[in-house]
Structure 1
Amino acid sequence: MNDETDSLASDDDTSQDRLNRLLLDHLSPIPMPQARKTGLRQGLLAHVAHSAARHAGLLTVRGKHGSWRCLTAGVKFKTLWDGPQGSSVLIEFAAGAGLIPHRHHWLEEGIVLRGGLQMEALELGPLDYHVSPPGSRHATIKSRQGALAYLRGTSLGDQAGVLREVLGGLLPGGEDSSDSVFMESSEDWQDLAPGVQKKVLYGDRDYQSCFYRLFAGAQLPDYSHSVDEECMVLAGEVFFGDMLLQAGDFQLAPAGRKRGDWSCDSSALLFVRGAIVDLPG
Structure 2
Amino acid sequence: MNTMPTTPESQDANDGDDMSPLLSEPFARAWAAPATGLPGRLGERLGERLARSLQAEQGMVTVRRRKSDALPLADGVLQRPLYRAPTDRPARPGEPRAVSVIELAAGATLTLPAGGSREFLVLRGSAEVDGEALSLRDFLLLPAGSAPQLGSADGAHLFVREMDGPGAERTLVRDREAGWPEFAPGIARRVLWTAGGEAALLYRADPGASVPGHGHGHDEECLMVQGELFLDDVLLQQGDYQLAPAGTGHRITETDTGVIIYAHGDLDLQFNGT
3-state DSSP class of the match of 1:210? Answer: strand
Q: Distance in 1 between matches of 2:218 and 2:175?
A: 27
What residue in structure 2 maps to residue 270 of structure 1?
A: 261
- Residue 141 in 1 paired to residue 141 in 2? no
Q: Deviations over 1:53-110 (max 9, x none)?
A: 222211110111122211111111121111355200011111111013x564211001
User: Which residue identity is paired with 1:94?
Assistant: A
Structure 1 residues 215, 104: closer, same or farther in 2, change over 3 A?
farther
C-alpha root-mean-square deviation of aligned residues, in Å? Answer: 2.5
- Alpha carbons 1:230, 1:252 under 8 Å: kept: yes
Residue of 96, 118, 121 corresponding to 1:111: 121
The normalised TM-score by structure 2 is 0.73
Higher percent of residues as helix = 1
Q: 1:126-165 counterparts in 2 under 5 A?
A: 126-138=136-148, 140-153=149-162
Q: Distance in 2 between matches of 1:249 and 1:129?
A: 19
Give unmatched runs, 5+ long, in structure 2. Answer: 1-35, 86-90
3-state DSSP class of the match of 1:208? Answer: strand
- Alpha carbons 1:136, 1:178 under 8 Å: kept: no
Q: Distance in 1 between matches of 2:116 and 2:133?
A: 23
Q: Distance in 2 between matches of 1:117 and 1:181?
A: 14
What residue in structure 2 maps to residue 190 of structure 1?
A: 181
User: Which residue identity is paired with 1:82?
Assistant: R
Give the Å deviation of 1:125. Answer: 1.8
Q: Distance in 2 between matches of 1:200 and 1:60?
A: 24
What residue in structure 1 maps to residue 103 of structure 2?
A: 92
Give the Å deviation of 1:154. Answer: 7.1
What residue in structure 1 maps to residue 4 of structure 2?
A: none
- Return the index of the structure with the highest Cα Rg: 1
Q: Distance in 2 between matches of 1:275 and 1:154?
A: 15
What residue in structure 2 maps to residue 174 of structure 1?
A: none
The normalised TM-score by structure 1 is 0.71
State percent identity of aligned pairs: 30
- Alpha carbons 2:171, 2:193 under 8 Å: kept: no
Question: How many matched pairs?
Answer: 223
- Alpha carbons 1:117, 1:123 under 8 Å: kept: yes
Structure 1 residues 264, 68: closer, same or farther in 2, change over 3 A?
same
Q: Distance in 2 between matches of 1:154 and 1:220?
A: 27
Q: Distance in 2 between matches of 1:121 and 1:90?
A: 19
User: Which residue identity is paired with 1:126?
Assistant: L
Q: Distance in 2 between matches of 1:72 and 1:154?
A: 23
User: Which residue identity is paired with 1:180?
Assistant: L
